[in-house]
Amino acid sequence: MVSLSTAKSDPEKLIWDELDRVSAGMLGLETHSFGLQPMAPNLDIANKTIWFYTSKDTDLVSAITPGAQALFCVVGKDHDFHAMLRGAISIDPDPRRIDEYWNSVVEAWFEGGKQDPNLTMLRFQPDECNFWASTGNLLTFGWEIAKANLDPEKEPDVGVHRHVAFV
């Protein structure tokens, strides 16, 4: 369950904690109309970087140019965290990263394993994030909805919205 107190006191920590809990999100380039595609994030929290395994022959890889900006959207595991991250994306088939995050799920997608000629990595360095964290407590949610329905000028207080610029 998302921590609303962390969302208020240390929003950057909350973002990385929640990203670490998701198995996939939607990744795409800011300037291309082919949309977002599901991708599994691999976090390098110390360097504020997200790595993705992918195939060299995808539309996404072929559209990445120097200076490209990407969007990565996630919904938290408990559906109480929603975020959109924006930042630089590049192709970086760093063998150390391939080894670091390699697992049986990734291996299923690449017939040649770590040496598959079609394997590459995407390096995503988010500059900023908009997120919404909401209470998972049904009693709190219900109480806030009831109060708002009794007072048309009051909105329910069920969560936190923040914009975070990564430094």
The confidence band for 2, taking pLDDT boundaries of 50, 70 and 90, is confident
CATH number reported for the structural domain that contains residue 89 in this entry: 2.30.110.10
Count of domains in the chain? 1
pLDDT tens digit sequence for 79-112: 889 999 999 999 999 999 999 999 999 999 999 9
Q: What one-character DSSP code corresponds to residue 13?
A: H
Q: Are 122 and 61 in contact (CB under 8 A)?
A: yes
User: Residue 117: pLDDT above 80?
Assistant: yes
Closest CA to 126 of 36, 44, 57, 56: 44
Q: What one-character DSSP code corresponds to residue 160?
A: E
pLDDT tens digit sequence for 21-80: 999 999 999 987 778 999 999 999 999 999 999 999 999 999 999 999 999 999 998 888
* pTM check: above 0.85: yes
Closest CA to 96 of 128, 60, 69, 123: 123
Classify residue 76 as exposed, middle or buried by CB count within 10 Å of its CB (0-12, 13-18, 19+). Answer: buried
Q: Which domain holds residue 149?
A: 4-165
Separation CA 59–CA 33 (nearest Å) = 11
